[in-house]
């Protein structure tokens, strides 16, 4: 959430920046509500003061045996007016909070302004696209003989976009998760296992509510109004909801593995079939609580940890600094790591590393305190480290042989009992 004080002081410039992410942003109604609320609060305080003074006068007149009927009538009417004003204030504050909660974060000043993802800037590449002497298969064609994934049974269980991993497919998915967790632990991240359902207020703190309510899966249970997490970021941010962290404990670096649940599975088509875009996928997540002076440094650390996974697996990738209109709702700065999938002949995101500055911290009331100082907002950062569905695809398609077998990268072999190759 943004700081209303900064919006008041520089509304025109902030609106201009916000419109580079969302052209529909209009701060006029928010500022009008803010002014009305402040005016209404002043009116209520004035009437309450008048009520207090009149009540005191009534008491004095009664003690003296004097007639206080006029004052009693005034008090009666004043109390009703205050109640009506308080009701109106509550309504306007609810509208204001909802409107503020729907404003995206402000992009950093050096981010390229564009609403078109095609304008994202490539800032790094690692490796090269594989050159194959034989026609390359996509992961669905490879799976026909390898039997790693069972999409038909997944559809029978739940529906399209809910894959089942079987046999060596399940073991390979498990191996990838363990390799990534080991890498992040080596790089200073503390491993957590978190709930996969959370309260609405936890979703709100991470920036998922109210804007993305229709994209979330919810439990149909009046006693447990929980939601399924779309990313481990939501729960990791919520660990310190409404807390003050001593500054000497920063940076806090967490990592977790969890399923991610998304209502939108993407557009249909050959390029989006299989594991490319699904309703449920596994993801290793990195999340950091950082001192504002250190968050840019922490951002680079997270990026390097995600890159190390792909480099350890020997996969070609590129880093894309996202333009303003392609960044996520709570982000001020985002780099997507995209791996090349030869079966699709295009790059796909497997990691998105973002610095959210104090946006999530303000929503979640997560602060830090210097020794002897007052609490102040810290910065939060998140990054995929990595999403395993597309990484699974990348491994199959980039390590395939002409006979349909798939070589296992050396770094993964110890997690698979020494298996060097998946054979039809």
Q: Given the residues 173, 258, 262, 357, select the one marked as catalytic.
A: 262
Instruction: Please say if 349 is a catalytic residue.
Output: yes
- Tell me, yes or no, whether 43 and 154 share the same domain: no
Instruction: Please say if 263 is a catalytic residue.
Output: no
- Tell me, yes or no, whether 235 and 337 share the same domain: yes
Q: Is residue 247 part of a domain?
A: yes
Q: Which residue has the higher pLDDT, 131 or 72?
A: 131
Q: What is the pLDDT of residues 327-337, one digit of tens each?
A: 999 999 999 99
- Tell me, yes or no, whether 305 and 219 share the same domain: yes
Instruction: Please say if 277 is a catalytic residue.
Output: yes
Residue 194's domain comprises 117-422
- Tell me, yes or no, whether 289 and 146 share the same domain: yes
- Tell me, yes or no, whether 78 and 214 share the same domain: no
Which segments of 293-379 does DSSP mark as H helices, in order?
295-312, 359-364
Q: Which of 101, 128, 159 marks a domain boundary?
A: 101
State residue 285's pLDDT score.
98
Using the predicted structure, report yes or no on whether residue 2 has a pLDDT greater than 80: yes
Q: What is the pLDDT of residues 75-133, one digit of tens each?
A: 777 888 899 999 999 999 999 999 999 999 999 999 999 999 999 999 999 999 999 99
- Tell me, yes or no, whether 210 and 270 share the same domain: yes
Tell me the pLDDT of the chain averaged across its residues.
94
Instruction: Please say if 370 is a catalytic residue.
Output: no
pLDDT band at 269 (very low <50, low <70, confident <90, very high): very low
Three-class SS state of 248: helix
Instruction: Respond yes or no on whether the N-terminal peptide bond of residue 107 is cis (omega within 30° of 0).
Output: no
Return d(Cα 108, Cα 316) in angstroms, integer.
28
Q: Is residue 106 part of a domain?
A: no
pLDDT band at 72 (very low <50, low <70, confident <90, very high): confident
State residue 50's pLDDT score.
85
- Tell me, yes or no, whether 82 and 123 share the same domain: no
Q: What is the pLDDT of residues 188-247, one digit of tens each?
A: 999 999 999 999 999 999 999 999 999 999 999 999 999 999 999 999 999 999 999 999
What angle, 0 to 180 degrees and rounded to 10, lies between the N-to-C axes of helices 168-186 and 295-312? 140
Return d(Cα 173, Cα 171) in angstroms, integer.
5
Token representation of residue 301: 């650390």
State residue 28's pLDDT score.
97
- Tell me, yes or no, whether 30 and 150 share the same domain: no
DSSP string, 67-126: --HHHHHHHHHHHHHHHHHHHHHHHHHHHHHHHHHTSPPPPPTTSPP-S-GGGPEEEEEE
The CATH number given to whatever domain includes residue 250 is: 3.30.930.10
Return d(Cα 173, Cα 226) in angstroms, integer.
27
For the residues 276-288, what does the mean pLDDT come to? Answer: 95
Q: State how far the alpha carbon of 143 is from the alpha carbons of 133, 176, 313, 329, 410, in Å.
A: 21, 18, 20, 36, 21
For the residues 265-280, what does the mean pLDDT come to? Answer: 70
Q: Is residue 109 part of a domain?
A: no
Q: Is residue 108 part of a domain?
A: no
Q: How many domains does the chain fold into?
A: 2
Burial 190-224 (b: 16+ CB within 10 A, else e): eebebeeebebebbbbbbbbebeeeebeeeeeeee
Burial 400-420 (b: 16+ CB within 10 A, else e): beeebebebbebbeebeeebe
CA atoms within 13 A on the CB side of 175: 23
DSSP string, 190-208: EEE---SEE-HHHHHHHT-
State residue 265's pLDDT score.
53
Q: Given the residues 349, 362, 369, 376, select the one marked as catalytic.
A: 349
Q: Given the residues 19, 277, 357, 367, select the one marked as catalytic.
A: 277
For the residues 25-49, what does the mean pLDDT come to? Answer: 96
Q: Is residue 335 part of a domain?
A: yes
Instruction: Please say if 367 is a catalytic residue.
Output: no
CA angle 192, 197, 201 (to 5 degrees): 100
The CATH number given to whatever domain includes residue 55 is: 1.10.287
Q: Is residue 177 part of a domain?
A: yes
Q: Given the residues 305, 351, 352, 354, select the one marked as catalytic.
A: 352
- Tell me, yes or no, whether 284 and 418 share the same domain: yes
Q: What is the pLDDT of residues 166-191, one digit of tens each?
A: 999 999 999 999 999 999 999 999 99
State residue 268's pLDDT score.
45
3-state secondary structure 361-377: HHHHCCEEECCCCCEEE
pLDDT band at 363 (very low <50, low <70, confident <90, very high): very high
State residue 267's pLDDT score.
45
Residues 301 and 319 sit within 8 Å (Cβ to Cβ): no
pTM: 0.92
């Amino acid at each position: 959430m943004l700081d209303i004080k900064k919006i008041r002081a520089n509304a025109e410039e902030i609106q201009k920046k916000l419109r580079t992410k969302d052209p529909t942003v209009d701060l006029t109604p928010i500022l009008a509500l803010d002014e009305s609320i402040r005016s209404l609060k002043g009116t209520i305080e004035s009437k309450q003061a008048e009520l207090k003074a009149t009540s005191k006068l009534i008491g004095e007149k009664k003690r003296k045996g004097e007639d206080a009927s006029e004052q009693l009538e005034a008090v009666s009417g004043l109390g009703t007016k205050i109640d009506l004003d308080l009701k109106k204030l509550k309504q306007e504050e609810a509208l204001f909070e909802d409107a503020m909660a729907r404003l995206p974060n402000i992009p950093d000043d050096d981010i390229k302004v564009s609403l078109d993802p095609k304008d994202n800037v490539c800032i790094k590449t690692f490796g090269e696209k594989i050159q194959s002497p034989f026609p390359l298969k996509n992961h669905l064609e490879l799976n026909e003989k390898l039997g790693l994934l069972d999409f038909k049974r997944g559809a029978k269980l739940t529906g399209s976009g809910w894959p089942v991993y079987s046999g060596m497919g399940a073991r390979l998915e498990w191996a990838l998760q363990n390799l990534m967790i080991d890498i992040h632990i080596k790089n200073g991240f503390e491993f957590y296992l978190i709930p996969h359902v959370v309260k609405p207020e936890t979703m709100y703190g991470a920036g998922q509510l109210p804007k993305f309510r229709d994209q979330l899966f919810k439990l149909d249970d009046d006693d447990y109004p929980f939601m399924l997490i779309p990313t481990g970021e939501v729960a990791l941010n919520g660990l310190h909801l409404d807390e003050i962290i001593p500054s000497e404990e920063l940076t806090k670096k967490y990592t977790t593995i969890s399923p991610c649940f998304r209502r939108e599975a993407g557009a249909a088509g050959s390029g989006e079939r299989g594991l490319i875009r699904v309703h449920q996928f596994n993801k290793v997540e990195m999340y950091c609580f950082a001192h504002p002076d250190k968050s840019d440094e922490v951002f680079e650390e997270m990026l390097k940890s995600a890159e190390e996974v792909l480099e350890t697996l020997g996969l070609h990738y590129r880093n894309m600094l996202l333009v303003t209109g392609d960044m996520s709702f709570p982000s001020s700065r985002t780099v997507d790591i995209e791996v090349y999938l030869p079966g699709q002949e295009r790059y796909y995101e497997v990691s998105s590393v973002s610095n959210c500055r104090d946006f999530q911290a303000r929503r979640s009331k997560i602060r830090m305190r210097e020794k002897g100082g007052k609490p102040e907002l810290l910065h939060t950062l998140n990054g995929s480290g990595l999403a395993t569905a597309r990484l699974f695809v990348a491994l199959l398609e980039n390590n395939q042989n002409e006979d349909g077998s798939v070589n296992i990268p050396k770094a993964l072999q110890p997690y698979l009992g020494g298996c060097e190759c998946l054979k039809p």
